[in-house]
Amino acid sequence: MRANDYHFVTHWAVRSTVEAVSEIIGDATDLVRWWPSVYLDVRELEPGDGDGVGKVLSLHTKGWLPYTLHWQFRVTESREPFGYTLNAWGDLIGRGVWDFMQMEDLVDIRYDWQVSAAKPLLRRLSFLLKPVFSANHHWAMRMGEESLKLELARRHSRDAIERDRVPAPPQPTFARWFRRGKAWETIRGQGSSQPELAG
């Protein structure tokens, strides 16, 4: 494994159904609303088929550290409501697999993310700062679990009063440093073709 190669496996457990979780996570353009600490901007470039396979999205994301990532992904497989597989390129190059399993009244969520850091900052400094960059990813995923639980609480609310009592999701760190809405600017005029992944 090269210094800039990363492999993360994340597990979440939420009280819900696989259908509800699949609907929320599968709607990538809504990530900006309920997972704003990480997703600064998401734009759909290609819609894909009826199951979402072939859908291409452009993303502007960040973790706790004060740098951002511009990348795209294509949905290559749908196992709805039990998960999705995606291929990514841009500042991050690799493959992500979401799996959802119903465990009585809980949903076990597993995300397997095998990725190479192509952003020059990460690529050049991974040999030295890999634990720091890894911690940045783990922070982002903790924010995702917290934000998903809040979103499910909103959706399961019995009325508007109960829904209004649900706290807002965690917001991005160093927010004033970054301008939202840059995902489209990143890919405008570049097309959405996926490059060949290195073997």
3-state helix/strand/coil string of 68-131: EEEEEEEEEEECCCCEEEEEEEECEEEEEEEEEEEECCEEEEEEEEEEEECCHHHHHHHHHHHH
Average pLDDT, the chain: 90
pLDDT in tens, 51-92: 899 999 999 999 999 999 999 999 999 999 999 999 999 999
Domain for residue 155, yes or no?
A: yes
Domain CATH code at residue 111: 3.30.530.20
Q: How confident is the model at residue 188 (pLDDT cuts 50, 70, 90)?
A: very low
Domain for residue 117, yes or no?
A: yes
Predicted local confidence at residue 179, as pLDDT:
59
Residue 118 confidence (pLDDT) above 90: yes
Q: Measuring CA to CA, which residue among 12, 11, 25 is closest to residue 57? A: 25
pTM of the complete model: 0.87
Who has greater pLDDT, 191 or 68? 68
Domain for residue 196, yes or no?
A: no
Q: How confident is the model at residue 128 (pLDDT cuts 50, 70, 90)?
A: confident
What's the domain range around 105? 5-187
Number of domains the chain contains: 1
Domain for residue 51, yes or no?
A: yes
Residue 192 confidence (pLDDT) above 80: no
Domain for residue 195, yes or no?
A: no
Q: How confident is the model at residue 193 (pLDDT cuts 50, 70, 90)?
A: low
